[in-house]
Homo-oligomer: A and B are copies of this chain.
Amino acid sequence: VQNQLFNFIGGNTGVWQVIKMETVVGAPLAQVERVEIIEGELTSVWQDFVWSLSGVTSYGRYVTRAEKDLLASRQADLNRPEATCAALIPISKSEIWWNLAQDERRAILETKSEHIKIGLEYLPAIARRLHHCRELDGEFDFLTWFEFAPEHSEAFEELVVRLHKSEEWKYVVREIDIRLVRADQ
């Protein structure tokens, strides 16, 4: 697990063209045309943007060894040429969630909500990278980035609907659903 910082920069430049931005719950995020993803600390070159969301990859907080191995055996990398569709979903969870103990959060996330199990069903079609930002000075707790081929768009909708119906999602107090397509300039 090398921690890597990624910045999602919303504005009018970038490889990813925004095709839809929906506020699912909580305060909205300003509409943008494009999103650029930059790894590492942002330099002063990046000033002309509408918003910039940063998060770091980190170790899994909930997966058991069996789940971790299963995920590793099935998941696909990002940047597959055929995966021209993407979603960026920033979320924050409530203080009630963060005040739960580890066993309680695991019980909600997996025993009741099957978050990991549901995600596994969509591998390798839907590639995913989770970025943590609760420990950073940002406005969200997590940024999840998904990539998939156009023919898996319906599967992705289904995944989102299933997670939204879960017990875990009752603790989500802010969520923005940003859909994008690769549009190399």
Residues of A near any B CB (own CB < 8 A): 1-3, 5, 41, 56, 58-65, 67-68, 95, 98-104, 106, 132, 134-137
User: How many copies of the polypeptide does the oligomer hold?
Assistant: 2
Would you list 5 pairs from A and B whose C-beta atoms are within 8 A, ordered by A residue? A2-B95, A5-B137, A61-B61, A62-B102, A63-B102
Interfacial chain B residues near A5, Cβ < 8 Å: 137
Contact assessment for B3 and A134 in the assembled complex, using a CB-CB cutoff below 8 Å: yes
Q: Which of A106, A132, A134 has the most CB of B within 10 A?
A: A134
Interfacial chain B residues near A100, Cβ < 8 Å: 65
Once A65-B103, A98-B59, A99-B59 are accepted as A-B contacts, the answer to whether A135 and B132 lie under 8 Å apart by CB is yes
Q: Which of A3, A102, A104, A132 has the most CB of B within 10 A?
A: A102
Complex: A58 Cα to B95 Cα, angstroms: 11
Interface of A is mostly: loop
Determine which of B61, B67, B103, B135 lies in contact with A56 in the assembled complex, contact meaning CB atoms within 8 Å: B135
Q: Which of A99, A135, A137 has the most CB of B within 10 A?
A: A135
Once A60-B101, A63-B102, A68-B101 are accepted as A-B contacts, the answer to whether A136 and B136 lie under 8 Å apart by CB is yes
Q: Can you list the 6 inter-chain pairs with the closest CB atoms, starting with the nearest?
A: A65-B101, A135-B135, A64-B103, A1-B98, A68-B101, A59-B98
Q: How far is the CB of A115 from chain B (nearest CB, A)?
A: 13
Contact assessment for B58 and A134 in the assembled complex, using a CB-CB cutoff below 8 Å: yes
Interfacial chain B residues near A60, Cβ < 8 Å: 101-102
